């Protein structure tokens, strides 16, 4: 693995440049504040009525409209929701970009699936922290950083890669390590991971386990603890030390039971379905379906959200979590 660290990146590629961060959400606030505190010249672009404007100003940042921020900037980082980026790009970003400017992203969806096709005269780069924005910010304030991916899609000025590395450094990422990839690999692995394992796979595994216990007559409370609540403790062990730390930490009974029964849950048929899901990501079928869904007003998404929030595990879970004083309520 080829990783880049502090000495491999030079903030000089960004110093003296005007940097616009579009959006002030999870990623936006972390990029804007970390880069500003790294000594760079940052302005935030938002819609005038945005609920984020006051928060950005209170944090000491310059705030402008998206169009004005892009006009002023040499480097524009797009940290808007993926599904709105194309429309905002066409109306407010593209008309204000100059040759030699740099367009940056934290996820490759819109570039990889040709939703945004920037002019050949601009650099197109990605700096993707492998973490939610709030951890990007917190680690920076503690003098550290999170690992980041960087990629170059277009290099118009010959500096695209150095700028991406410098951005990762300004975020704190080169303290942890930066790995170079492509827009294709970042986008396809990100979509597959969230569909098959992280969001889709884990949610269905939890629901199927919960339903199995409840249908067999066990109390919902016990089923919730076993199939959802305790999962966090297990995931923390994976996160800290992989499969071996998890198996070391659980009882021999759990280890033996898990290793012999797990493969009966995740069967070869499950993996065959994962391969189909990956193909839909690779050939663009998923991207097209999601874009159509957004354009159609989120009919399926709203129906699926309602189904999920009506599931028995959500009702019992919300009662049980009231017993847990340490949880942050949102």
Catalytic residue set: 107
CA of residue 262 relative to chain centroid, distance: 28
Task: Name the residue with tokens 């890669």.
Answer: 161
34 counts as binding ligand NDP under rule CB under 6 A: no
Contacts of residue 191, defined as CB under 8 A and 6 or more positions apart, other chains included, come to 109, 281, 286
User: What is the rounded CA–CA span in Å between residue 164 and residue 166?
Assistant: 5
Closest CA to 312 of 203, 230, 211: 211
Is 325 annotated in some ligand binding site? no
Q: Which of residues 70-89 bind ligand NDP (CB under 6 A)?
A: 79-82, 84, 88
User: What is the rounded CA–CA span in Å between residue 30 and residue 8?
Assistant: 22
The residue from 25, 193, 201, 258 that contacts ligand NDP (CB under 6 A) is 25
Is 27 annotated in some ligand binding site? yes
Is 24 annotated in some ligand binding site? yes
Is 82 annotated in some ligand binding site? yes
Task: Name the residue with tokens 């966090």.
Answer: 232
CB of 227 to ligand NDP, least distance (A): 26
Closest-by-Cβ residue to ligand NDP is 25
CB of 235 to Mg ion, least distance (A): 15
Q: Among residues 198 and 270, whose Cβ is nearest to Mg ion?
A: 198
User: What is the rounded CA–CA span in Å between residue 220 and residue 206?
Assistant: 13
CB of 204 to ligand NDP, least distance (A): 22
Is 307 annotated in some ligand binding site? no
The residue from 27, 34, 64, 187 that contacts ligand NDP (CB under 6 A) is 27
| Number of residues in contact with ligand NDP under rule CB under 6 A | 24
Q: Among residues 130 and 245, whose Cβ is nearest to Mg ion?
A: 130
Strand 41-45 relative to strand 18-22: parallel, antiparallel, unpaired? parallel
Q: Among residues 26 and 282, whose Cβ is nearest to ligand NDP?
A: 26
Cβ–Cβ under 8 Å, residues 170 and 140: no
95 counts as binding ligand NDP under rule CB under 6 A: no
46 counts as binding ligand NDP under rule CB under 6 A: yes
Cβ–Cβ under 8 Å, residues 130 and 239: no
178 counts as binding ligand NDP under rule CB under 6 A: no
Angle CA 44–46–51, to nearest 5: 110
Is 194 annotated in some ligand binding site? yes
Q: Among residues 52 and 247, whose Cβ is nearest to ligand NDP?
A: 52
Q: Which of residues 166-205 bind Mg ion (CB under 5 A)?
A: 190
47 counts as binding ligand NDP under rule CB under 6 A: yes
Q: Among residues 16 and 48, whose Cβ is nearest to ligand NDP?
A: 48
CB of 92 to ligand NDP, least distance (A): 8
CB of 31 to ligand NDP, least distance (A): 9
User: What is the rounded CA–CA span in Å between residue 147 and residue 43?
Assistant: 24
Among ligand NDP, Mg ion, none, what binds residue 132 when CB lies within 5 to 8 Å by partner kind?
ligand NDP
User: What is the rounded CA–CA span in Å between residue 73 and residue 77?
Assistant: 10
User: What is the rounded CA–CA span in Å between residue 79 and residue 103?
Assistant: 11
Helix axes 183-192, 268-282, angle to 10 degrees: 140
Helix axes 160-171, 26-37, angle to 10 degrees: 90
The DSSP code for 20 is E
Is 38 annotated in some ligand binding site? no
Paired with 123 in beta bridges are 102
Q: Please tell me the number of Cα atoms within 13 Å of 6 on its side-chain side.
A: 6
Residues of each annotated binding site for Mg(2+): 190, 194, 226, 230
Binding site, annotated residues for substrate: 251
Q: Which amino acids are annotated as binding site for NADP(+), given as ranges?
A: 24-27, 47, 50, 52, 82-85, 133
Q: Rule CB under 6 A: which residues touch ligand NDP?
A: 23-28, 46-47, 50-52, 66, 79-82, 84, 88, 106-107, 128-129, 132-133
């Amino acid at each position: 693995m080829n990783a880049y660290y502090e000495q491999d990146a030079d903030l000089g590629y960004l110093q003296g440049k005007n940097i616009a961060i579009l959006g002030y959400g999870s990623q936006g606030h972390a990029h804007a504040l970390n880069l500003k505190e790294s000594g760079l010249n940052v302005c935030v672009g938002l819609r005038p009525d945005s609920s984020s404007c006051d928060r950005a100003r209170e944090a000491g940042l310059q705030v402008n409209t998206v169009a004005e921020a892009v006009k002023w900037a040499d480097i524009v980082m797009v940290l808007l929701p993926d599904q709105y980026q194309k429309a905002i790009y066409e109306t407010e970003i593209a008309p204000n970009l100059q040759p030699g400017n740099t367009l940056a992203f934290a996820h490759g969806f819109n570039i990889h699936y040709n939703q945004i096709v920037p002019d050949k005269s601009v650099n197109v780069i990605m700096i993707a922290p492998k973490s939610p924005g709030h951890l990007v910010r917190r680690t920076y304030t503690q003098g550290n950083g999170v690992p980041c991916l960087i990629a170059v899609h277009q290099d118009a000025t010959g500096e695209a890669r150095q700028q991406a590395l410098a951005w990762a450094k300004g975020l704190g990422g080169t303290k942890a390590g930066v790995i170079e990839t492509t827009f294709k690999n970042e986008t396809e692995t990100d979509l597959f991971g969230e569909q098959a394992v992280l969001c889709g796979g884990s949610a269905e595994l939890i629901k199927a386990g919960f339903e199995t216990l409840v249908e067999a007559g066990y109390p919902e409370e016990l089923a919730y603890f076993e199939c959802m609540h305790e999962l966090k403790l297990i995931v923390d062990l994976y996160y800290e030390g992989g499969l071996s730390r998890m198996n070391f930490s659980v009882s021999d009974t759990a280890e033996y039971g898990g290793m012999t029964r797990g493969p009966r849950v995740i069967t070869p048929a499950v993996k065959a379905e994962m391969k189909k899901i990956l193909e839909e990501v690779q050939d663009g079928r998923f991207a097209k379906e999601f874009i159509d869904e957004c354009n159609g007003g989120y009919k399926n998404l709203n129906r699926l959200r309602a189904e999920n929030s009506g599931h028995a595990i959500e009702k019992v879970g919300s009662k049980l979590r009231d017993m847990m004083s340490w949880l942050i309520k949102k």
